């Protein structure tokens, strides 16, 4: 058992930019029409309260926004259908969410080629006719403005395309073509909504990715284009191995990932014009594949805890990809657990990482200590709150004991909620059940119940004049703790002691 | 650690009359108008699926059934108001429940005296005018028949009064007066609904109580009165001590309680005419006081498990008093935990005993073994299910390991859900919080989450040619277990092993 | 058919202080624990969005706030129970409501006498021990402050007692005793929450009532007591006649009522110190009796429309007594329609007056015209909105046509929603059904459906260069209308004309 | 005003096979994943209580049932994914529905060609490999059997393909290929579920369609294939004209349609082996196009009323195509009203035809009279119920008065609910609003409210010793009426007369 002692003084303070609740990712927008998607979204929002949501596919065929038709004379006319867009946006707002818009992919009707990505065939080629594309963008934004009001919609960030530095996502990863797309699209956005923040280049990492940021900003600077933020992605997966439908790979360290993000941040700041411009990590996760088993595990929860403690050091926001498992990029999953990105498995079963977000997104108070195992907040009136985690790579199995030495007076009680390999980890039970593809009611009820964190409480000891709260974390545990005064004033003599 | 080995053979069978779901008790009927009451009832029903519900106060003033008025000429006229009765009955039916009617107490307008019981003042005196009483009974039953249909209402058992052998519940505990009440009331019931089961004497235990049963049946036999069941109550509390508002006492053994019930059963069977007549225990619990702390504890859950395993040996049914903590007999409780009878604390917080009922009420299959720690059912197709418990009186603290040796073939998995002193026991956390009277949202959420049972799973070992499932029960644990085949057919290669 | 022509110019403006949504009345607070009460409240709030709620009985026995007990030594101790108060306040807040507190009646434990009012026996005598009363008030307010926050609770107005000028509500209508009660209570309020508005004397009308206001203010002025508002009631019922349980009477005119209110307003303004002090009409309705049939009728809806158009001329607010029919002052009603105060009948059946409030509470824009049949608002962008009514006393039966001549350009469409004797008037159908006391599912569904207003639409004519919108109101009709631009841009040629 | 007098005697009886609730149609199965679809379905079921549901696309790509994959060795393996199928079936069962399965279309992975139908591209070519197709069918049915139980699934009828007599739906409308498909598919069905009813040929009408039925049965007879029912479709649309996206056409008469159905029925009965075999009309409607404005009108409601009164004369069941407007065959609709098939418009706005089904599906009692304007049922105890309609073709505008002369004693009350051009017809208001594509909250609320039927009541007259109930039906009205005893027993004197 490793031990970790944290001594807090009255004047302790620590930097901690906690923006975990800013945004969350989602499968393509058309899936937001699904009831299971909405059920998962409501469940996630009840626990995590995200403020924005970002996904692909606003202009994909299943959203049917672009809907030219032939009039009575047989002339083709541009027309737009906002039936589904309204439905999705209404549902987001009902869930307390604003979109972080991503403009893409190309409607088949406007595309210059037929290259597509994913099972659901998003067209990734430039527009055949730039005017028709910008008309589409403008018409869509003007419609949103009319429906939701200019002030509201102007608070929705708008990103141009997704990962154009990958040839799968943008034909040939053609940088010049992307910059042109950004130029005309950003102009269209601002012509519709002058105060809507617009940005790019929404790249993923890998070779040459930092150059994309540099070139993007140079281009914008040179052409004096509007650019209100820079966006990029952050994944930890190393070279993968595929077995059957699934993909397996090791993970980079959190330090390594942070260094990459820091480099992007520095590039932005190297432009005098753009110093301090917000950098949004519009996607992050461990693996970048929706069939990688890590996403279902407690290891993932602990890794994400470490990330959430640190990503605010380098980015304005960081959006977990994705909130739920209604997701089809590589096809429809056959089983409730399948390594999907989601914080919940299909069937409304929480995964461990859901709780990491629940714990971070609801933190309040002022940070007094932060390290690689712990974030500690002071809430005033003798109350403390925090998250602790014990990230153990493959093969390691060390429990961790954290002793928090706190100033002030007792008595205090410590309340903890914990997920680890044995608690709040429905995957473990599903594996023991024999990996059933279709869950019966009994199995589903068990898995949902097993997905709750373990709740515990104990007194805070007084020791050498200090108050000492002790947390014990098993391998890959993530623990939320709250410490609060607990002097009892028994109501008229209630004392169950003789029955305990 | 005590060890308990249970060897099951292919042809093992055990008697087990499991009727735990037949009926549950409730505070006075007027409280069924409350939203918190209905919320608790829905929550309990979702987990326990009781089939009948029985409570006091059908004719108390707050139900306003008896509503004579003066007409335009100033003449008093008998009239009845079914506004609230309909509302309550509709709500029961919506919750999947049928009433087990208890006719009482006496409406103030019909009472011969002014003796009342409880904070809410139920009048416990005989009717001033027998005809007005029987008119009231008849009118009420005829109204129910019209509203819900004769077949439906004829399936509701109907009990005359409550605990007339206590002077608090029936003026002077006047046996002759009760028998007369039964006579006229049973006749009124049958005149309205010939097939409605009617019974009594609804006594509580204690000195002379068995005589009440004997005298009741002698009287009915002699007068050839309708009597379709005999009813009585069963509590375990010994002589109490009061401190402040609360009451503390030791408990009889389960054996002792069973012996008392057996004696009643034997008395019934001693009447040739009534041999085999159903005996309903229309109330049972550990303590009979709604401010006795035992009800909130894991000890209560384990005690009730033992009772549920055995009460079917002596009674047709046994109704836990009560499902929820919206209950006012001794006054409105000031704190969420206060020793109330309920399976849920106010604020919709499950208590440990809720899970005992959840586990028993949903058992299926055929019983193959039953003892003082275990009920084991075979469900067919290699599936097994059961409940185990480890009832430890005050002061004792022995863990118990149960080894189930099962016939058949593996692989099997064992899934368990457990409440004990440390799990599914929100009282423990509330005490550590300092017994807050008004819970804030954070406290309430924690207590509800902490009230879920601990879920665990493991493989069933093959040992000496047998399958051995092992259960470990801490002090006062109640565990539901399910054993089922678990051969995995991994979907297209899903294998999270490297991340576990 | 009477005709009424209203010509609106571009610069038309009319005074209209619309505060209909400020507050609504409710039966005693303990009834807020009922599910039917909450269901009705949610339904009313969804349509009317009231902001405050005021009712009697905060300290009545069924709320159980005052709960002294004997400790282990047998000494009586003051203690308070906020279980039900929290439940009620939580439910109000969930419904978007803040309480308008009324401090009363006297807990039996603190009362100096045993005079009570109503079926539910509110004690109306002064406190036996002033300190115990002020302790109760202070403890209750401090508890609310701790639970909901000081800023929040300081926005709840607080009224001392109810109708002390009636001997039924305050023993002997003893003015000096009331003034003393006000003195000590107001001090207790301010000591707990210095910014909470406190006021009185909460009188009803009738002989001598204006003197009460004058004497109250003189007393407060002399003693320099805190007084943040003056409150009084406004009812229209003339001398009643009782037949059976019900009460029948004619109604004063709206003018007459307004004059009485104006007099109170003038009295307040006659005190230099209190000039302009808010006057809240904390109860108003047609009849003051909960078994007067007028409340269920369309006549009531039209009367209230007239009142809502005018009460803002004389009062800061005016609170309709009451939102729902879960109400027990004169006993529990036996039938869904029984002349209760509520905007909804039991069974969630809207009454016509509900729509009057729905129409007024949701009005937006700027008032351009107001008279005894009409309020007209301009919403900008060529949109208009308003409420029209045709109040016809007993015996009269004149339809009314209103022609609105509006400035601006067409095409415009007029959308109307109307309740009158034949529409949105479930009472009419219930009478034809034969006044069933218990509604079966079919009857209930019919009555609810029949309670919806009649929706209609038509084009606005162009006539002599003006736009003319025509409203036709049958006897006792209340019509909400909206006028909006309606130029059609048929989607891809949709034209159902051949099927219409 | 036309007049229609119906004289009913005590012994009147009329044939009426009312099976309107048996089945309803739906857009392709993948759309059942949508929340709006489920919301509409729940709303329709609450009013109509259909028992089965039938739609296309069980095996289309978006359901992802057919999901072959390459294993680690790169070998392609047949595999099936039931994630979405389970979700849809679970949702149907939660809505009280059983599927009427339609096996089709061809999964792309199994298709022999690439011809597709509809915006959503259902492949309509025969299987490339018959064994893979029958494996798919068998695996799917066996999965359903395992999940829902053999008895349950054996009660689901199963139809082979859809409209193979149209070349759009089945490549070349190749009859021999269809018969072969039926042969192998029916065998696969019976091998999985011997008691599941299987049938075909699911043809639409038109030239040669009756031959398809004859040839189908001859083929089955000759080969001794299982065939448990014959299915076909029934539409009324004549040759259409397209304007923009929409399609307009006149309608056949109901008589004409009935004659066509009768001919099919006679063909079946001409086979001794199949005499009396159930004929299911698995689709019917006025127009067969989802962009034909008639579907939104009151004319449609009246036409369907006439059909529902008569289709039971010739068919075992008749399934309206479709329950809701979440439907994409010709593309996603841009506006709430667009001539979709649904009983509800998008946004949960009831269309008039919804009420026709609500009225017919809930009829109870025994039919005593049926003609082209009326169905009249006797419910016992002096209660009567029925539906009346006044179908007026284009251009005609005759009101209709129906006088029902009934036996028995009064007083009786007549309660009616009516939709016609002016009531329960939101289309009319939407047109006046200017056909807005995106409805704001105010517009949506108005349209929903306007979509409720007009409720009215009146007394039944006594005339010449008979009771006469009078119904007045405007053009295209559909009226549900209930006649019931209404003798009033006023509760304690309630009499609102002076306020009416």
Task: Give yes or no for residue C478 having a pLDDT over 80.
Answer: yes
| Nearest alpha carbon to residue B283 among B159, B390, B172, B126 | B159
How large a percentage of chain B has pLDDT more than 70? 100
* Neighboring chain D residues of B79 at a CB cutoff of 8 Å: 492
Please indicate, yes or no, whether residues C321 and C371 belong to a single structural domain of this protein: no
CA distances (Å), C131 to each of C115, C128, C137, C185, D369, in order? 21, 9, 10, 10, 78
The answer to whether the beta carbons of residues B152 and B164 sit under 8 Å apart is: no
Confidence of residue C1 (pLDDT cuts 50, 70, 90): confident
pLDDT of B395 over the 80 cut: no
Alpha helices in A49-111 (DSSP H): 83-94
Q: How far D65 CA lies from chain B's nearest CA (Å)? A: 14
Residues A441-492 have pLDDT tens digits of: 999 999 999 999 999 999 999 988 889 999 999 999 999 999 999 998 888 8
B179 and B43, same domain (yes or no): yes
**Contact B485/A335, CB-based, under 8 Å?**
no
By C-alpha distance, the chain A residue nearest D79 is A334
How many Cβ pairs within 8 Å bridge chains B and C?
83
- Judge whether B2 and B401 are in contact, CB under 8 Å: yes
SS3 A401: strand
Active-site position among D102, D159, D260, D283: D283
A296 in contact with B at a CB cutoff of 8 Å? yes
CB proximity A454 to B under 8 Å: yes
Q: Are A208 and A158 in contact (CB under 8 A)?
A: no
A300 at the B interface (CB within 8 A)?
Answer: yes
State the Cα torsion A272-A278-A282-A288 to the nearest 10°.
50
Q: Say yes or no for a CB contact (<8 Å) between D493 and B79.
A: no
Measured in whole angstroms, how far is the alpha carbon of residue B168 from the centre of its chain?
22
Same domain, B202 and B324: yes
How far apart, in whole angstroms, are the C-alpha atoms of residue C169 and residue C116?
8
User: Is residue A91 in a domain?
Assistant: yes
Question: Residue A61 to residues A29, A106, A160, D209, D469: CA-CA distances in angstroms?
Answer: 11, 9, 18, 36, 56
Q: Is D455's CB within 8 Å of C446's CB?
A: yes
Which of D69, D72, D492 has its CB closest to that of B69? D492
Q: Among the three residues D300, D335, D361, which one is the final residue of a domain in this structure?
A: D361
Question: Interhelix angle for B175-192 vs B209-223, to 10°?
Answer: 50
Q: Which of B204, B461, B484, B463 shows the shortest CA–CA distance to B364?
A: B484
Of B33, B331, B438, the CB nearest to C147: B438
Give B357→chain A minimum CA distance, Å: 16
Q: Which chains, if any, share at least 3 CB pairs under 8 A with chain C? A: A, B, D
Q: Is the backbone of residue D442 left (phi > 0), alpha (psi -120 to 50) or beta?
A: alpha
Q: Does C239 touch chain B (CB under 8 A)?
A: no
Q: By residue range, what is the domain housing residue D344?
A: 23-361
What span, in angstroms and rounded, lies between the C-alpha atoms of A446 and A444? Answer: 5
Same domain assignment for residues C182 and C240: yes
The residues of C that are catalytic are 163, 283
- How many angstroms separate the CA of residue D71 from the nearest CA in chain B? 7
pLDDT at B313 over 70: yes
Name the minimum distance, in Å, from the CA of B71 to any CA of chain D: 7
Cβ-based contacts of D446 with chain C (< 8 Å): 415, 417, 455, 482
In which element (H, E) is residue A428 found? helix A426-433
Cα gap B419→B389, rounded to integer Å: 10
Mean pLDDT by 10 residues, chain D (500 residues): 93 97 96 98 98 97 94 88 98 98 96 95 97 98 98 98 98 98 98 98 96 98 98 97 93 96 98 98 98 97 98 98 97 97 98 98 98 96 95 80 95 97 97 97 98 97 92 97 93 90
> Which residues of D fall within a CB distance of 8 Å from B492?
69, 71, 79
Nearest residue in D to B77, CA atom? D492
Q: Are residues C7 and C29 in the same domain?
A: no
Both C112 and C235 in one domain: the answer is yes
Matching residue, tokens 């065998």: D187
Contact: A446, B434; criterion CB under 8 Å:
no
Chains that touch D (3 or more CB pairs under 8 A): A, B, C
Lowest-confidence region among B99-103, C438-442, C461-465: C461-465
Shared domain check, C161 and C29: yes
Structure tokens at C32: 């807020």
pLDDT (tens digit per residue) in D236-293: 999 999 998 999 999 999 999 999 999 999 999 999 999 999 999 999 999 999 999 9
Q: Inter-chain contact B81–C440, Cβ cutoff 8 Å? A: no
**Pair (A337, A373) in one structural domain:** no
Strand partners, A414: A458, A483
Question: Quick one: tokens of A215?
Answer: 């070139």
What stretches of C409-475 adopt beta strand conformation (E)? 412-419, 454-459, 461-463, 466-473
Question: Which chains lie within 8 Å of chain A at 3 or more CB pairs, if any?
Answer: B, C, D
Pairing of strands C122-123, C158-160: unpaired
- A233–chain B Cβ distance below 8 A for any pair: no
Q: Do D484 and C433 touch (CB under 8 A)?
A: yes
pLDDT digits (tens, 9 = 90+) for B147-161: 999 999 999 999 999
Q: Does B273 touch chain A (CB under 8 A)?
A: no
Quick check: pTM over 0.90? yes
> Contact at 8 Å (CB) between B325 and B332?
no
Alpha carbon separation from D255 to A12, A346, D128, D252, D306 (Å, rounded): 88, 51, 43, 8, 10
Per the domain annotation, does C406 fall within a domain?
yes
Work out the minimum CA distance from C441 to partner chain D, whole angstroms.
Answer: 13
Asked whether the predicted pLDDT for residue B393 surpasses 80, the reply is: no
Q: pLDDT tens across B401-455, in order?
A: 999 999 999 899 999 999 999 999 999 999 999 999 999 999 999 999 999 999 9
Task: Locate B366 and state its tokens.
Answer: 């055929």
How many angstroms away from the CA of C480 is the closest CA of chain B? Answer: 34
The answer to whether the Cβ–Cβ distance between A244 and B492 falls below 8 Å is: yes
Residues 6+ apart with CB under 8 A from B78: B68, B132, B135
CB contact under 8 A, A429 and B457: yes
Tell me the mean pLDDT in the region B246-274: 97
Q: So what's the pLDDT on residue D394?
A: 63
Contact residues, chain B, for C437 at CB < 8 Å: 82-83
Catalytic residues of B: 163, 283
Q: Which residue of A has its CA nearest to C492?
A: A71
Domain containing A354 — which CATH number?
3.20.20.80
- Is A334 within 8 Å of chain D by CB? yes
* Residue after which a domain boundary falls, among A361, A387, A407: A361
> Rounded to the nearest 5°, which phi and psi values hold at B418?
-135, 135
Q: Give residues with Cβ within 8 angstroms of A367, minimum separation 6.
A: A13, A14, A15, A16, A18, A375, A376, A377
For residue B18, is it within any domain? no
Q: Are A370 and A386 in contact (CB under 8 A)?
A: no
Distance CA B365, CA C301 (A): 61
pLDDT digits (tens, 9 = 90+) for D361-397: 999 999 999 999 999 999 987 899 999 999 997 667 7
**Residue D18 domain flag:** no
Alpha-carbon gap: A316 to the closest alpha carbon of chain C (Å):
32
Q: Do C371 and C231 sit in the same domain of this protein?
A: no
CB contacts under 8 A, B 48-107 vs D, are 69, 71-72, 79
Quick one: D355 and D415 in the same domain?
A: no
Domain shared by C357 and C369, yes or no: no
**Residues in chain C closer than 8 A to B332 (CB atoms):** 64, 67, 81, 83-84
Residues in chain D: 500
Taking contacts as CB-CB distances below 8 angstroms, the residues of chain D near C482 are 442, 446
Distance CA D367, CA D376 (A): 6
- The H or E element containing residue C177 is helix C175-192
**Beta bridge partners of residue D406, listed in sequence order:** D467
Q: Has residue D132 been placed in a domain? A: yes
B305 pLDDT exceeds 70? yes
Residue C27, in any domain of the structure: yes
In angstroms, rounded to a whole number, what is the distance separating the alpha carbons of residues A77 and A71?
Answer: 7
- Work out the minimum CA distance from C489 to partner chain A, whole angstroms: 12
Q: How many structural domains comprise chain A?
A: 2
As a whole number of angstroms, the distance between CA B132 and CA B317 comes to 33
Number of alpha carbons in the 13 Å side-chain half-sphere of residue B313: 19
What is the C-alpha separation between B182 and B48, in angstroms, rounded? 33
Nearest to D243 among A33, A72, A331 (CB): A72
Residue C18: inside a domain: no
- CB–CB of D81 and A332 under 8 A? yes
Confidence of residue C465 (pLDDT cuts 50, 70, 90): confident
In three-state secondary structure terms, B134 is helix
CATH of the domain at B487: 2.60.40.1500
Q: For residue A113, give both structure tokens.
A: 């080629």
Q: Kindly tell me the burial class for residue C224, based on how many C-beta atoms sit within 10 Å of its own C-beta (0-12, 13-18, 19 or more).
A: exposed
In tens, the pLDDT along C212-256 reads 999 999 999 999 999 999 999 999 999 999 998 999 999 999 999
Q: Which of A38, A245, A346 comes nearest D35 by C-beta?
A: A38
Task: Please say whether the dihedral angle defined by the alpha carbons of residues D250, D251, D252 and D257, taken in this order, is positive or negative.
Answer: positive
pLDDT digit string, tens, across residues C399-410: 999 999 999 998
- Between B81, B332, B334, which is nearest C332 by CB? B81
- The Cα of C67 is separated from the nearest Cα of chain A by a number of Å equal to 11
Answer whether residue A335 shows pLDDT above 80.
yes
Tell me the chain A residues in contact with residue C79 when contact means C-beta distances shorter than 8 Å: 492
Q: Which of B104, B67, B52, B452 is nearest to B278 (CA)?
A: B52
Residue D472 DSSP one-character state: E
Q: Which residues of C touch A149 (CB under 8 A)?
A: none
Q: What pLDDT sits at residue A129? A: 97
Q: Which of C344, C361, C378 is a domain's end point?
A: C361
Give which of A110, A106, A212 is closest to A164, Cα–Cα: A212
3-state helix, strand, coil in chain C (%, to 5): 35, 25, 40
Are A492 and C72 in contact (CB < 8 Å)? no
CA A345, A348, A352, A358 torsion: positive or negative? positive
Cβ-Cβ pairs closer than 8 A, A with C, add up to: 10
Q: Which residues of A134-173 are buried (b: 16+ CB within 10 A; e: fewer)?
A: bbbbbbbbbbbbebbebeebbebbbbbbbbbbeeebbbeb
B293 to chain A: closest CA residue: A496
DSSP state of C51: S
> Does the complex come out with an ipTM higher than 0.85?
yes
DSSP for B50-92 reads -SEEEES-TTSGGG--B--EE-TTS-EE--B--HHHHHHHHHH
Interior/surface letters D160-196, b for 16+ CB within 10 angstroms, e for the rest: bbbbbbeeebbbebebebbbebbbbbbbbbbebbeeb
Q: Is residue B134 part of a domain?
A: yes
For C368-403, give one letter per residue: b (16+ CB within 10 A) or e: bbbeebbbbbbbeebbbbbbbbbbbeeeeeeebebb
Residues D356 and D421 grouped into a single domain: no
* Rounded Cα gap, residues C489 and C499, in angstroms: 19
């Amino acid at each position: 058992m490793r031990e970790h002692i944290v001594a807090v003084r009255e004047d302790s303070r620590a930097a901690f930019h906690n923006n975990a609740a800013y945004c969350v990712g989602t499968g393509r927008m058309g899936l937001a029409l699904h009831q299971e998607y909405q059920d998962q979204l409501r469940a996630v929002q009840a626990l995590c309260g995200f403020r924005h949501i970002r996904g692909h596919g606003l202009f994909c065929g299943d959203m049917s926004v672009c809907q030219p038709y032939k009039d009575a004379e047989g002339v083709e006319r541009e027309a737009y259908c906002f039936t589904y867009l309204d439905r999705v946006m209404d549902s987001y707002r009902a869930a307390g969410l604003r979109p972080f818009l991503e403009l893409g992919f190309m409607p088949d009707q406007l595309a210059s080629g037929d290259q597509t990505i994913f099972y659901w065939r998003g067209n990734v080629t430039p527009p055949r006719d730039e005017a028709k594309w910008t008309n589409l963008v403008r018409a869509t934004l003007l419609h949103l403005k009319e429906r939701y009001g200019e002030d509201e919609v102007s608070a929705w960030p708008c990103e141009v395309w997704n990962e154009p530095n990958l040839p799968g996502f943008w034909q040939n990863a053609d940088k010049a073509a992307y910059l042109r797309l950004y130029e005309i699209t950003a102009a269209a956005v601002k012509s519709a909504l002058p105060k809507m923040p617009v940005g790019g280049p929404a790249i993923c990492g890998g070779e040459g990715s930092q150059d994309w940021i540099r070139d993007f900003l140079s281009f914008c600077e040179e052409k004096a284009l509007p650019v209100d933020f820079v966006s990029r992605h952050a994944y930890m997966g190393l070279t993968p191995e595929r077995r059957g439908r699934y993909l397996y790979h090791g993970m980079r360290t959190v330090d390594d990932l942070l260094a990459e993000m820091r480099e992007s941040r520095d590039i932005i700041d190297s432009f005098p014009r753009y110093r301090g411009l917000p950098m949004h990590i519009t996607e992050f996760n461990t693996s970048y594949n929706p069939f990688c088993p890590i996403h279902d595990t407690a290891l993932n929860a602990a890794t994400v805890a470490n990330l959430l403690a640190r990503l605010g050091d380098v980015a304005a926001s960081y959006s977990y990809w994705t909130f739920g498992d209604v997701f089809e990029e590589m096809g429809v999953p056959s089983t409730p657990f399948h390594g999907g990105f989601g914080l919940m498995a299909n069937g409304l079963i929480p995964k461990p990482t859901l709780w990491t977000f629940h714990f971070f997104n609801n933190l309040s108070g002022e940070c007094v200590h932060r390290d690689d195992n712990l974030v500690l907040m002071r809430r005033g009136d003798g109350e403390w709150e925090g998250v602790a985690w014990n990230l153990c790579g493959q093969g390691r199995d060390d429990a961790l004991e954290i002793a928090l030495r706190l100033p002030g007076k007792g008595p205090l009680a410590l309340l903890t909620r914990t997920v680890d390999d044995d608690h709040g980890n429905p995957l473990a039970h599903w594996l023991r059940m024999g990996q059933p593809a279709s869950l019966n009611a009994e199995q589903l009820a068990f898995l949902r119940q097993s997905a709750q964190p373990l709740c515990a409480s104990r007194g805070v000891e007084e020791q050498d004049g200090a108050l000492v709260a002790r947390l014990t974390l098993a391998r890959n545990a993530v623990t939320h703790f709250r410490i609060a005064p607990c002097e009892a004033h028994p109501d008229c003599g209630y004392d169950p002691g003789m029955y305990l």
